[in-house]
Amino acid sequence: MIPGRELIARLTSRGPETTPFTPVGRGTRSGHLPSGVRALPLDSLSGVEDLDPQEMVCTALAGTSIDEVARAAAVHGLLLCPLLPEGIGGTLGGLYSSGIESPAAPQEGRLRDAVLGIEGWTGGGSPLRSGGRVVKNVTGYDLTRYLCGARGRLGVITRLHWRLRRDPERFQEVRAELPCLRLLDALKALRGAPDATALRVELVGDRVTLRALVEGGGPPVESRIGRIREALAQAQLRSEAQELPRAALPDFLRAELPDLGGGSALRRATVRQWAEAILLAGRSPSARGVLFPWIGLGALVPSTVASPPPELHSIDQWVREAWDPHGNLWTGEEAPR
Amino acid sequence: MTPIRRRRRDDRRLLRALERWLPPSRIIRDPGECALYDTDGLTLHRAPPGGVLLLESADEVEEAVRCCVSHGVPFVPRGAGTGLSGGAIPLDHAWVLDLSRMDRVLEIDPLERTARIEPGVVNLDLDRAAAAQGLRYAPDPSSQRACTVGGNIAENSGGPHCFRHGMTTRHIESLEVVLPDGTRTILAAPSPGRADPRGLFVGSEGTLGIAVEATVALVARPEAVRTQLASFPSLAAACRAVSRVIAAGARPAALEILDRLTIKAVEASVFRAGYPLDAEAVLLVEAEGSAEEIEQETAVVQAACEAEAALAFETADDPVARERLWRGRKGAFGAMGRVARDLYVLDGVVPRTRLAEVIERITKVGERHDLVLSNVFHAGDGNLHPNLSFDARDPEQCARVLAAGDEILRICVEAGGTLSGEHGIGLEKRDHMHLVFDAGELATQERLRAAVDPAGLANPGKVIPGGRGCVEAGHRGPPGSGERTARRIEEVLG
């Protein structure tokens, strides 16, 4: 039985004169809702229903806090997949709906790849289910990947099946400081080195710090670190390796610059475009930025990376009309119907 | 509500429209030649196409779809025709849009680690092109020497190395697609707060449109690779060894099991790999990484195999020896051709901790139906491929094969698994969808399909049970969708 039927009854009994709803977990990511939009709280749908350490899969209701899931997984030496900043708060459903990018995506897949299945309801009140608890599943349309990041605008997700990963317990980083002029060389050199779990680039003025995250310890990991450093050395770049304290991991993984003002919003670009943008930005002594080049996401001030305006793809428009003909769910536009 | 009216089907006018821009040599209407397209890798079912178009560019695909839509004619995209769920079988005399000539690798970018390709590129050809840059395309279905990446996108194909690297969908950066109404659009990474249409499109089996170009992600070729082969006194022991490997925290690139019958068939064929004939099962494990990482992983795998009383353990580091060990796995389906004329390759998924129990139940199904049943499977993912050998010329055998297949799929679902891990639903499992989804959930999927393909012409009769006709689909649509759809069709047709 798909949970949340009562909530959906509230949604679908909305009269034509009333305002649309938007699903809300703990409100950590929804921000301020514009007037004319009502919250559909999911916090009553909470709880880890099943966590199988052998299959490394967890099933939880959408309103379950991420911290609760993380605690349940930690008992078995497991983490939520993919690697994400700890302490990001909120609920599992909110995390799924945010579609937040993991800097480790090239190594372990995007957030949407970690969600094995979803259950919920369309805005029109029809049941919606996709995937399940097995790691491979191509049965029917892949609504799990489709709706990840849609912020509940096409449906209300009430239960999720989530993949878990092993906790490596230890993290290290290779660090190199260089002028932003050399960033492209460094990135090219790293493409020929063993893959790090994630790569972070920080810009201050005309200098960048390049930080490669490596998981685990022991001789194989030391050898990996050695070869990353060797690749940088071949590009005449000096580097050092150091332990990354667990407490510092969230900051490493956070694709945000909270202390930067306007214009620092995350943008998406190719590796080459980012290297060029950083080169341009670095002409200003006040330039600041953070970039995860392997996933193409970053924030930069002053920014020369243009982001296309968010568009509703025609497919989404058609699906919304089919699934929610009365517009029960808020579309995300500032002035709802 | 205005019901959607499907355009009256007119194949003759369609032909005339096509002849205006497509050379006659690329339009196949001869029944004998068309018969080559009446099935795919699922030879249990056949249906003759209305015609076949050999297309060579995205513009031609767009034009062909527009022509089909404007004449009410259903269409089915086709790559190499290696699909195993009947996804390319042209039901309803659909016209086949053959994309195998669109086989160019347009660009490989080593810095971005992407390749831009046409849909007819053969999977292995893409991997070889990437290899020249020190990269590889990770999804590697058993048919990778023949199957096209466009087909892989349609089915969300997997392969042995997807255990570590993920399915096709994980490797799709962006797609250029022709939607079922003939419009061409790009599906790329979504803006914040938007759904990810790439996720929906991959695995939609040609029912939501046709990919005419793809940008795929490539991964680094590993520094070193080691293939390990362990043989076991029972299939259950091999399955338990897999659980031990994973529980020990190892992350091999592939974990594959072949049972005794498959071993015998392989060893008697041109795919002979030197598998021990006294074993009830062999486990193939591939480790990737640095020499140190491989040594560490080998120790874990060996210990897991020894704990399950493995009969022998062999490792291969050099490419020739590794290729030999893989030859048996990759050629297993071909080798089964020695056992019988036809092979029905099933594709079910179960939680990997239940592999041994499920295999035992499946074996009994084969015995009960007096069928030769062999197993080759992606053990790390719990993705089973029970294979039933039979002679398709014998209707009684076919009936037994279908009945056994039905039972096997039910067992997988009962065990907490699902109908398909990598072959898709297609025609084969369309009528099994009710085992996984209830009527309301199927209706939600059907509404989505009807929203994207209101005329119901894109690969009709696949994926969703009963979701074949446009009128039927249109009547299921929400209020207002009829007018909207009619408007859209008119816009497309001008």
- B window 334-373, beta carbon within 8 A of A: 349-353
The answer as to whether B188 is a domain residue is: yes
For B227-277, write each residue's pLDDT tens digit.
999 999 999 999 999 999 998 888 899 999 999 999 999 999 999 999 999
Between CA A52 and CA A39 the distance in angstroms is 33
Query: DSSP string of A51-100?
Result: EETTTTEEEEETTSBHHHHHHHHHTTTEEESS---TT--SBHHHHHHHTP
* Over residues B344-360, mean pLDDT: 95
Residue A299 vs residue A114, higher pLDDT: A114
Nearest to A243 by CA among A175, A183, A316, A143: A175
The answer on B149 and B251 residing in a single domain is: no
pLDDT of residue A263: 45
State yes or no: pLDDT of B202 exceeds 80.
Answer: yes
Q: How confident is the model at residue A313 (pLDDT cuts 50, 70, 90)?
A: confident
User: Which of A153, A270, A322 is facing B477, going by the closest CB pair?
Assistant: A322
The answer on A177 and A150 residing in a single domain is: no
Residues 6+ apart with CB under 8 A from A275: A183, A184, A187, A293
Q: Domain tally for chain B? A: 5
The answer on A162 and A282 residing in a single domain is: no
For B115-129, write each residue's pLDDT tens digit.
999 999 999 999 999
Between CA B83 and CA A140 the distance in angstroms is 16
HSE-CB of B368 using CA atoms within 13 angstroms? 11
Between CA A33 and CA A49 the distance in angstroms is 30
The CATH code of the domain that includes A25 is 3.30.465.10
Q: Are A288 and A257 in contact (CB under 8 A)?
A: yes
pLDDT of residue A30: 56
Residues paired with residue B52 on neighbouring β-strands, in sequence order? B28, B96
Between CA B26 and CA B452 the distance in angstroms is 29
State yes or no: pLDDT of B486 exceeds 50.
Answer: no
* Over residues A128-138, mean pLDDT: 97
The CATH code of the domain that includes B274 is 3.30.70.2190
Q: Are B455 and B470 in contact (CB under 8 A)?
A: yes
Which range marks the domain in which residue B401 is found? 340-428
Rg of the Cα trace of chain A? 22
pLDDT of residue A336: 47
Q: Which residues of A touch B243 (CB under 8 A)?
A: 54
The answer as to whether A119 is a domain residue is: yes
The answer as to whether B5 is a domain residue is: no
pLDDT of residue B473: 29
The answer as to whether B185 is a domain residue is: yes
User: Mean pLDDT for chain B?
Assistant: 92
* Over residues A298-323, mean pLDDT: 80
The answer as to whether A321 is a domain residue is: no
Last residue of some domain: B47, B69, B98?
Answer: B98
Nearest to A254 by CA among A99, A28, A88: A88
The answer on A156 and A65 residing in a single domain is: yes
Last residue of some domain: B267, B301, B334?
Answer: B334
The answer on B83 and B22 residing in a single domain is: yes
For A67-95, write each residue's pLDDT tens digit.
999 999 999 999 999 988 765 678 999 99
Q: Domain tally for chain A? A: 2
* Over residues B179-198, mean pLDDT: 92
The answer on B216 and B111 residing in a single domain is: yes
Residue B48 vs residue A264, higher pLDDT: B48
The answer as to whether A322 is a domain residue is: no
Write down how long chain B is: 494
For A143-161, write each residue's pLDDT tens digit.
999 999 999 999 999 999 9
User: Which of A140, A188, A191 is facing B425, going by the closest CB pair?
Assistant: A140
Q: Which residues of A touch B433 (CB under 8 A)?
A: 139-140
The answer on A291 and A257 residing in a single domain is: yes
User: Mean pLDDT for chain A?
Assistant: 89
| Strand B95-98 to B75-78 pairing | parallel
The answer as to whether A332 is a domain residue is: no
Last residue of some domain: B385, B409, B428?
Answer: B428
* Residue A260 Cα, gap to closest chain B Cα (Å): 19
The answer as to whether A325 is a domain residue is: no
* Over residues A116-124, mean pLDDT: 97
pLDDT of residue B491: 46
Percent of chain A exceeding pLDDT 90 equals: 69
pLDDT of residue A36: 84
Which range marks the domain in which residue A230 is found? 171-301
Q: Is the dihedral of CA B281, B287, B291, B295 positive or negative?
A: negative
The answer as to whether B6 is a domain residue is: no
pLDDT of residue B105: 98
The answer as to whether B4 is a domain residue is: no
User: Which of B156, B429, B444 is facing A127, going by the closest CB pair?
Assistant: B444
Q: How confident is the model at residue B469 (pLDDT cuts 50, 70, 90)?
A: very low
The answer as to whether B125 is a domain residue is: yes
State yes or no: pLDDT of B381 exceeds 60.
Answer: yes
- Strands of A222-287 (E only): list them: 240-243, 267-268
User: CB count, 10 Å around CB of B409?
Assistant: 23
